[in-house]
Structure 1
């Protein structure tokens, strides 16, 4: 029997995870990435316990653990620095089997890419259209360098997917969350300890994630119109963070101005009718981009990849039927997480003094008086296991 062939549209972490999951099950691969060089944004990345289990299924979990910093699943302060919720890595490990792991996004991308066969990734290759095919016809993928046929096409080209609207003509597409995010990676200061934590204030949050070595990933959010920009983003951020506890303002102030990046946050808040059409599967942010409030964007893409490969394994003649099972498994879970992330974002981005007081009080009670409530809230997310895991 000829080797089944998959075309993956998008060479980000979700696309590479899907490619690796399929490669491990004997599929031939072509990964089409429109960028001339496969270099992800220089961001810090929090990898939750469920994502680590997915990476274990790809034989990449051990490398991620070796190259990452250990943190708890929740550590939240007020704007003035007082703790609201504080959990450590050991507590997270006891509850979920793993703590949160933090590393550079580029590090995870490189770990996945190195596991793919040489030549699988084609950079500077733009996919212009996809014909989904069916049980009798293979899918067809048109690119600016030629046409490809495929037993399976995986659409993993992100929240701004160009293929998603071709597959689901009536879907409204992505929507703006109402807030933007600034981020930078800076050197850890010698004179100030830096703890993993996220701080909640009026109209946004700010967080610090110590990375392996001597670096810290910093981020901050703020309500703003889509597409807005400042002449000096570091100065704009300094204005917004005036009065916040240390070391947050100082960390951003230490970043060279050109390294402080700004990204509007978009999500797919209306669920797709399905995560497949014909022989095409939609995965990751292309299917269910969510606000980053629960740190599950990458984790859900990795879950998608593992579940997709599980369902299409051994079903070459019935790929569309296998993809229906993929939709049935993934859509309810991810749609619920999109909505939960949006609801949490609404609370975190609130600038109402009354709502902020209620938010912080509720989180304090859950975190300090009844820590089991926090575990109950995140367990359905972090307790996921790959199909067939014992």
Structure 2
């Protein structure tokens, strides 16, 4: 088949690599003139690697990621440094960390030259027709995959948009220069309406994020100064991480998710994938993982199904069910971790301290479980 993909993010590139390896003619349209990931670090759990392994990309991503989280203490803390939940080295869920830019480069490498057309804004046709308009010209495909993010124009064109919601908080992300000794312990620190996360990266760098409850679109002025004022009194190594991060490596984004999930992830010969389908808050760390699951599920169903309609119907069924649970769970986790009322914060912390670490680990393991789709025959109903 000839397949057009709108968006060269993580999900779009995983889909492109898997589909191209299966012999499909794939074109990826990316509106940025210089395709590359804008962002900092991220974590991928076992579900992402199970999916990547299913299409032969697991080792490609392992090569640019690290497993340092498995060799250190992790969990949740208070700003004083007191642990709410402490997970000893080697007892937590399987998780690897990496920089978004390096993941993006690794996913571009398997693609044939010319697969990604940079600087090209592609617009999907209404109703899910497999047509893309680029610079005033139409291109026809057998299937169009929309991996164009939380504000997907394809989702709107296909009549599937339910709006975008501001989550109530904004997040800074940074990557230090080589200061790996600042991440002997990892995890999140929870305050009142504020939190800070620490994730070690390969090559002795550290990815961190800071989150504050704030009005949407707030102008914070001197943001590095604000972060030092807000988090400078929190436990080590938080102040040192802020000092070790170049201003050029600091990003901030207001956090949004979809106000509601689309009624379907498929319209005609169009498929929603990743944030375009189910943008969720980052509070379960599953945004990238779910985009990967989407992409791999679609690749495998197109490989095994006897008809395109059967593959798309099964993709819609499987992915909406999986995404709905994580979209809701992420929103709930955000409301808990960003709690600001003193009584709510106190109750949250008491409950966290009372919870055995094993319970938290098992809950994380359930989230990070992905099942490869079964073969679907034409006309089969489930």
- TM-score, length basis structure 1: 0.90
* 2:336 is equivalent to residue 347 of structure 1: yes
Q: Is the 8 A contact 1:205 1:349 kept in 2?
A: yes
- How far residue 152 of structure 1 moved from its aligned partner, in angstroms, is 0.8
**Aligned to 1:107, which of 102, 108, 129?**
102
* 2:154 is equivalent to residue 163 of structure 1: yes
Helix, strand or coil at the partner of 2:185: coil
- How far residue 326 of structure 1 moved from its aligned partner, in angstroms, is 0.7
- TM-score, length basis structure 2: 0.91
Helix, strand or coil at the partner of 1:251: helix
After the TM superposition, which residues 1-390 of structure 1 pair with which residues of structure 2 at under 5 Å, given as runs?
4-70=1-67, 71-72=69-70, 75-88=75-88, 90-92=90-92, 99-132=94-127, 139-144=130-135, 146-168=137-159, 171-189=161-179, 192=182, 194-313=184-303, 315=305, 318-368=307-357, 371=358, 373-387=359-373
Question: Quick one: distance in 2 between partners of 1:141 and 1:257?
Answer: 39
**Cα deviations by residue, 1:104-160 (Å, 9 ceiling, x for unpaired):** 111111111111122110000101332455xxxx61111116321111110000111
Which piece of structure 1 moves more, 221-230 or 32-41?
A: 221-230
Q: Is the 8 A contact 1:77 1:83 kept in 2?
A: yes
Question: Quick one: distance in 2 between partners of 1:298 and 1:190?
Answer: 24
Question: Quick one: distance in 2 between partners of 1:54 and 1:360?
Answer: 35
Judged with a 3 Å threshold, the aligned counterparts in structure 2 of structure 1 residues 342 and 42 are, in CA distance, closer, same or farther, namely closer
- How far residue 17 of structure 1 moved from its aligned partner, in angstroms, is 0.9
Which piece of structure 1 moves more, 293-302 or 258-267?
A: 258-267
Q: Is the 8 A contact 1:129 1:143 kept in 2?
A: no
Judged with a 3 Å threshold, the aligned counterparts in structure 2 of structure 1 residues 89 and 288 are, in CA distance, closer, same or farther, namely farther
**Cα deviations by residue, 1:66-102 (Å, 9 ceiling, x for unpaired):** 332211496211111111222255224xxx6xx2100
Q: Which consecutive unaligned segments of at least 5 residues does structure 2 have?
A: 376-382
Paired residues, what number? 372
Instruction: Give the alignment's Cα RMSD to 1 decimal.
Output: 2.1
Helix, strand or coil at the partner of 2:336: helix
- How far residue 270 of structure 1 moved from its aligned partner, in angstroms, is 0.6
Question: Quick one: distance in 2 between partners of 1:304 and 1:191?
Answer: 36
Q: Is the 8 A contact 2:200 2:206 kept in 1?
A: yes
Judged with a 3 Å threshold, the aligned counterparts in structure 2 of structure 1 residues 81 and 276 are, in CA distance, closer, same or farther, namely same
- How far residue 232 of structure 1 moved from its aligned partner, in angstroms, is 1.4
Q: Which consecutive unaligned segments of at least 5 residues does structure 1 have?
A: none
Which piece of structure 1 moves more, 48-57 or 59-68?
A: 59-68
Helix, strand or coil at the partner of 1:199: strand
